[in-house]
Amino acid sequence: MSTAIVIGAGVGGLTAAMKLAHAGVKVELYEKSPVPGGRCGRVEVGEFRFDLGPTILLMPFVLQQAFASIGRKLEDHLELQRCDPHYRVHFRDGSRVVLWTDPAKMKAELEQIEPGSYPRYQQFLARGKIQNDAAFEHFITRHFSSVLEFVTPKSVPQMVRVGALSKLWSHVSKYFADDRLRQALSFQTMYLGVSPYDAPAVFALLPYTEAVHGIWFPRGGMHAVPLALAEVRRLEGVALHLGQGVKQVQVENGKAVGVELEDGQVRRADVVLCNADYAWAVKHLLPPALAAPRSAKLSKARFTSSGLMLYLGLSQRVEGLLHHNVFFGRDFKGSFNDIFEKGRVPDDLSFYVNAPSRTAEGFAPEGKDALQVLVPVPPLGGPVDWKAEAGRVRAGVLARLKDEGYGDLEPLIEAEQVLTPDDWQTHHRLERGSNFGLAQNFLQLGPFRPKVSDPDLKNLFWCGASVQPGTGVPTVMISAGFAVDAVLAQLGMARPRERVA
């Protein structure tokens, strides 16, 4: 029986492990943390519970497909609930817009901001469908081994068609005159940690998929996704070793032959598949002779934003908040410039508040509230003193919530935890504390993004946010599928390519 070691039980590692085991490979999965999930983990503070990172589940059909590929039904392991309204966006001038799937409600919301905008929203969505479908067919569900596969006489017109070569902000500006609607229908690139001024226009597929396929909330929160995957991996017979970190990939004659664990034990296998953050793992898990030159190259790459997180347990329910809430600072464009170009935290913050108790039980005791606040900030590497900055950010968030009429939350705080980019790097092993890994600008997409087969070491494979096709829970599951295909081909167990709808 062929054997595989998977490093890391994030969504990517769990998906890959269950698929490999289903294909007949004996899999050992090593996870340094005591719980599976990685960025999709859980935070517990006193009697309050929070999702660590992701809170927005898009493209549930990708999850369904991943389960179906091994003969299982997602619904048997995970209950999904649709969020409609999606979220409320708060602008600095005091105005607000609520985004809905429901067309009549959406129309009323858009028209109160920009009269006559709804027909153009419909055109924006029609264009979004073309972008979404073409991106899925030609780019997101394809792994590229070389630039020649990517840039072909057939693919170049496709790239122009989907807007891979233009910018999202310019695209959205063609449909809407009011900056507030432009902002509300382009900030979704921050789900990938990229500015809408830098992201290719093809990412209009995000507001499209929200409107058409919906925003979903897994019962139990996003952490329920890795828990469901972990359950299936158990049923498929994968051994999961929690609290057992890998120290280094073992190499003999240019091939990966196993791993050395942090406790010094050595484990051998036919292949090693690494789900730990790519840039972090290259630096820390590869033998130094390989790690140094590759890390030097990666240090010049563009990284996504980090997040300064506040997890607040409150003695009372905050009236008026929806499940998802977005707050934009005064200078929308300037804030992206601060984060991505100047490496500083904007003076007037933009942030996101997740209040899951609106939809589900189990996050806060009856009558109390659990808020996860995500403030996008630069990745590590700039001059920011994060301890000092955390205090300023916390005060800024509380002041803004008060200004917006949600009350003075300070006296209600019973329990809290703060997480800075330093913590993302130190505790969650994300290079530069970057929440989403390598950025997804054109030159870091497709064949320009790390491939699932290691370029130097035979039998070493990768999956996760920084490899093809890119970051985000569903996309990482697609990357696991790419990696499994490559592993099975290497082991002589190739299977037909899966298609994602």
Ligand X SMILES: Cc1cc2nc3c(=O)[nH]c(=O)nc-3n(C[C@H](O)[C@H](O)[C@H](O)COP(=O)(O)OP(=O)(O)OC[C@H]3O[C@@H](n4cnc5c(N)ncnc54)[C@H](O)[C@@H]3O)c2cc1C
Least separation in angstroms between residue 87's CB and ligand X is: 11
Secondary structure E strands in 300-446: 306-314, 324-327, 351-354, 369-377, 413-419
432 lines the binding site for ligand X (CB under 6 A) = no
Q: Measure the CA angle with vertex 95, ends 93 and 100; round to 5°.
A: 145
Q: Which residue is nearest to ligand X (CB)?
A: 10
Reported as type and span, the H/E element at residue 30 is strand 26-31
Least separation in angstroms between residue 354's CB and ligand X is: 9
- CA dist 306 → 80, 396, 425, 462 (Å): 27, 18, 10, 22
Residue whose entry in the numeric block shows the structure tokens 């820390």: 284
The correct pick among 74, 246, 272, 314 for binding ligand X (CB under 6 A) is 246
12 lines the binding site for ligand X (CB under 6 A) = yes
Least separation in angstroms between residue 187's CB and ligand X is: 13
Least separation in angstroms between residue 99's CB and ligand X is: 15
Looking at the Cβ atoms of 7 and 398, the one nearer to ligand X is 7
- Residues 281-320, mask of contacts with ligand X (x by CB under 6 A): ----x---------------------x-------------
7 lines the binding site for ligand X (CB under 6 A) = yes
Looking at the Cβ atoms of 110 and 349, the one nearer to ligand X is 349
CB of 489 closer than 8 Å to CB of 459: no
374 lines the binding site for ligand X (CB under 6 A) = yes
Closest among 273, 236, 237, 239 to 71, alpha carbons compared: 236
Q: Which stretch binds ligand X (CB under 6 A): 35-43, 135-143, 356-364, 482-490?
A: 35-43
- Residues 202-241, mask of contacts with ligand X (x by CB under 6 A): ----------------------------------------
473 lines the binding site for ligand X (CB under 6 A) = yes
CB of 10 closer than 8 Å to CB of 37: yes
Q: How many residues bind ligand X (CB under 6 A)?
A: 36
CA distance 428 to 410: 28
Least separation in angstroms between residue 452's CB and ligand X is: 12
The correct pick among 2, 33, 183, 335 for binding ligand X (CB under 6 A) is 33
429 lines the binding site for ligand X (CB under 6 A) = yes
135 lines the binding site for ligand X (CB under 6 A) = no
191 lines the binding site for ligand X (CB under 6 A) = yes
Looking at the Cβ atoms of 191 and 203, the one nearer to ligand X is 191
Residues 6+ apart with CB under 8 A from 262: 32, 244, 245, 246, 247
Residue 410 phi/psi, 5° resolution?
-50, -55
Map the footprint of ligand X across residues 36-75, applying CB under 6 A.
38-40, 53-56
- Residues 320-359, mask of contacts with ligand X (x by CB under 6 A): ----------------------------------------
Looking at the Cβ atoms of 13 and 313, the one nearer to ligand X is 13
CA distance 77 to 173: 41
Least separation in angstroms between residue 174's CB and ligand X is: 27
Looking at the Cβ atoms of 38 and 450, the one nearer to ligand X is 38
CA dihedral 42→48→54→58, nearest 10 degrees, is 120
Structure tokens at 342: 């100047």
471 lines the binding site for ligand X (CB under 6 A) = yes
CA distance 285 to 393: 34
The correct pick among 8, 60, 128, 258 for binding ligand X (CB under 6 A) is 8
Residues 6+ apart with CB under 8 A from 301: 279, 438, 439, 444
Structure tokens at 90: 């708060």
Looking at the Cβ atoms of 32 and 96, the one nearer to ligand X is 32
Structure tokens at 111: 């028209």
The correct pick among 214, 245, 376, 379 for binding ligand X (CB under 6 A) is 245
CB of 189 closer than 8 Å to CB of 195: yes
CA dihedral 195→200→201→207, nearest 10 degrees, is -50
CA distance 500 to 198: 27
Instruction: Tell the burial category of 382 from Cβ atoms under 10 Å away from its Cβ (0-12, 13-18, 19+).
Output: middle
CA distance 72 to 386: 44
The correct pick among 19, 32, 42, 451 for binding ligand X (CB under 6 A) is 32
The correct pick among 435, 444, 459, 468 for binding ligand X (CB under 6 A) is 435
Structure tokens at 137: 């067919």
Q: Which stretch binds ligand X (CB under 6 A): 113-121, 275-283, 290-298, 387-395?
A: 275-283
Looking at the Cβ atoms of 30 and 150, the one nearer to ligand X is 30
Least separation in angstroms between residue 14's CB and ligand X is: 8
User: By the criterion CB under 6 A, which residues form the site for ligand X?
Assistant: 7-13, 30-33, 38-40, 53-56, 191, 245-246, 275-277, 285, 307, 374, 429, 435-436, 464-465, 471-473, 476
